[in-house]
Amino acid sequence: MRKQIIYKIYEISRSRRIKKKQDKQRKKINRDIMRKILLTLAAVMCAATMMAQEKLLQWDQLMDYKLYPQREMRGFTFVPGTNNVMYLKDTAYMLFDGKKERSMTAKEREMFKEKMQPAKDERVEKKEGNLYVDGKFVEKGDGYNIVLGESVHRNEFGIDGGLFWSPKRSRLAFYRMDQSMVVDYPLVNTKAREAEPKPIKYPMAGMKSHEVTVGVWDTKTEKLVYLDTRKDTTVHEREMYLTNIAWSPDEKYVFIAKINREQNHMWLEQYDAVSGKLVKVLFEEENPRYVEPCEPMIFTPKGDQFLWYSMRDGYKHLYLYNLDGKLVKQVTKGEYEVEGFIKFDKKGENIFIYANKDNLAGRDAYRVNLKKGTMECLTMQENGLHGTHSILLNDNCNTWVDVWSSVDMPIRADLRDLKHKKALYTFYTAENPLKDYAMPGVKLGTIKAADGKTDLYYRLITPPNMEKGKKYPTLVYVYGGPHSQLVTDSWLAGGNLYFMFLAQHGYVVFTVDNRGTDNRGFEFESCTHRHLGEIEMADQMEGVKFLKSLPYVDENRMGVEGWSFGGFMTITMKLAHPEVFKVGCAGGPVIDWKWYEIMYGERYMDMPQENPEGYEANSLLNKAKNLEGRLLVIQGAEDNTVVPQHSTEFIERCINNYKQVDYFMYPHHEHNVLGRERLHLYQKMFDYYETHLK
């Protein structure tokens, strides 16, 4: 009995131990299961995060404006005489009074709409090429051989229109362009049932140019007079460039910057608006390379003096003159460029300008005292950062809206004033529109030019999440010509969605602004004179050296791409360095400068008759025999800037030399491929790289 009791107690104890052990094991199993569940959830969340980070741009997004920094507010303007700012916020009309934001009143809304909608010039009309003002016939033209009131000289010298009203709109100056002596250049419209000619007037370097005069119509007397801009009837006088037309504040005089065809001599001339006679030559400028005025004179508020842009000291600066042409003083000075005039203050004591004084890759706004010459930066951030700025000043010029961006700051709008260093109010700071996508690296930096001393600014875009030790195919995107600056201290360093797309697909994308480009002084820009493509290529190859020093760049898979002057540079570099560039993609390329227009071509190369060695040395026709690897040439069939003759003759030379080349034409496009077809262009080039470079 006693044994049975002991055994039962033992069994109960053993059962409890087993149960306890089982409970412990169950808890362990439950913990393990829970741990696995948590790890699985963490992995899923991590994967989801990675997938969000690895989201790639799609083709149809490359022209989606929503993927560029969004301006939450637009149309900033000040209520006259106040510091109150009006603007559109989405579709709402809003006003900021310095303390709070509110909706505009009906009266304020009408004022805002009036300021935002520039008045249409309904007084001038053109019918069948003829010019009418206030319904009155002014001059006969045909819109082709004789063109009235339109831009002339192929839009060079800053010309963007052909009508110039006097301040009180009682007189109208206008361009009359006679291009009947210019050869008809044959373009073809293939949309017609039977292809039909679509000729243009295209004066080529060294050939006959058009002839321009300036008429003045008096709306009160209804009389037309032509300014006497020619000393005689010689071709030399008839082919003068008449640029930068301006009216005197009292409407009595018209001013013209007249330039000889050689473009090495400029005369600033004053004409009587009633008689058309030359009053005086205010001053002259000469340069053995070229002079290129692009802005008309700017009168002071009193009207007794004016400002003039000039690069005579080596950089683009402002000079103050009396009306008799006597120089009062140089207003700005230094190794930087004045990039734009904003306005005078009410008293005319200070001017407001844009310049790259403190940031050669960016643009700041400054107040400059005319008497002392002192400069104050209005857009320096409290943390010392710069960027690329545009400002809107109030009437008193003591408060302004500053809209700006930098390499890694999409866009921001601040309210600032002269009393405070910090922004008074930030209207908005745009978020990164690519925050949900795999974000490539974007860097702005400098390398030395081929001369070993000049700084060149570059933009380097690298693939996201680069793998250590891996080498990536690299594309050099180039323009390299005058009046260009591709690398800027602005969002993505001036890059675009196409470059980001390429980087997301594993390409390094590099751009450098070589000597010959803009905003770095006259020597920097003009050192390429008479030998386009040589110094530019030398600097670009310094960029290639830099790329080869980077551990992630595959020097055996390098390509080059560019359009227009960049197309010329692309083929130049591909033919000169076939061992470097495996692939090239050239759009609308200049092949031989003798086929380019007079105004631009002769400025930078002189006439073919004056510089035969330069034209011959830089003609790509002579170098087609050096083609190796893959080259895609893209051309707009109706290109009226770089006419198709360039690319077709290059193809012919490739054929003659038994060199294989790829050629693609956009049948109904001019110099640029625009609209939805641009997506086709992007895909065409990308597929080419995927096939031949990657």
526 classed as catalytic: no
Instruction: Tell me the torsion sign for CA atoms 312, 313, 318, 321.
Output: negative
In terms of Cα–Cα distance, which of 44, 120, 109 is closest to 79? 109
Contact 364, 354 (CB under 8 A): yes
Q: Which of 265, 531, 577, 671 is catalytic?
A: 671
Q: In the beta sheet, which residues pair with residue 295?
A: none
Task: Indicate the residue type of 90.
Answer: D
The helix/strand/coil state of 20 is helix
DSSP 8-class letter at 67:
G
Helix (H) or strand (E) holding 462: strand 455-462
564 classed as catalytic: yes
Cβ-Cβ contacts under 8 Å for 15 (sequence gap 6 or more)? none
DSSP 8-class letter at 227:
-
Q: Which of 364, 405, 639, 669 is catalytic?
A: 639
Contact 178, 212 (CB under 8 A): yes
Q: What is the dihedral of CA 379, 380, 382, 386, to 10 degrees?
A: 110
Report CA Rg, the chain.
Answer: 33
Kindly tell me the burial class for residue 552, based on how many C-beta atoms sit within 10 Å of its own C-beta (0-12, 13-18, 19 or more): middle
Q: How far is CA 21 from the centre of its chain?
A: 77
Rounded distance, CA 406 to CA 408, Å? 6
Backbone angles phi, psi at 529, to 5 degrees: -55, 130
Q: How crowded is the C-beta side of 57, counted as CA atoms within 13 Å?
A: 30
In terms of Cα–Cα distance, which of 436, 431, 426, 429 is closest to 464? 436
The helix/strand/coil state of 83 is coil
Q: Which of 564, 606, 619, 692 is catalytic?
A: 564
Q: How crowded is the C-beta side of 257, counted as CA atoms within 13 Å?
A: 25
Only one residue has tokens 């063109």, namely: 147
DSSP 8-class letter at 64:
-
In terms of Cα–Cα distance, which of 593, 676, 691, 674 is closest to 639? 674
Q: In the beta sheet, which residues pair with residue 354?
A: 340, 365
Rounded distance, CA 76 to CA 548, Å? 46
Helix (H) or strand (E) holding 571: helix 565-576
Q: In the beta sheet, which residues pair with residue 92?
A: 89
The helix/strand/coil state of 556 is strand
Helix (H) or strand (E) holding 89: strand 85-89
Kindly tell me the burial class for residue 75, based on how many C-beta atoms sit within 10 Å of its own C-beta (0-12, 13-18, 19 or more): middle
**Residues with a known catalytic role:** 564, 639, 671
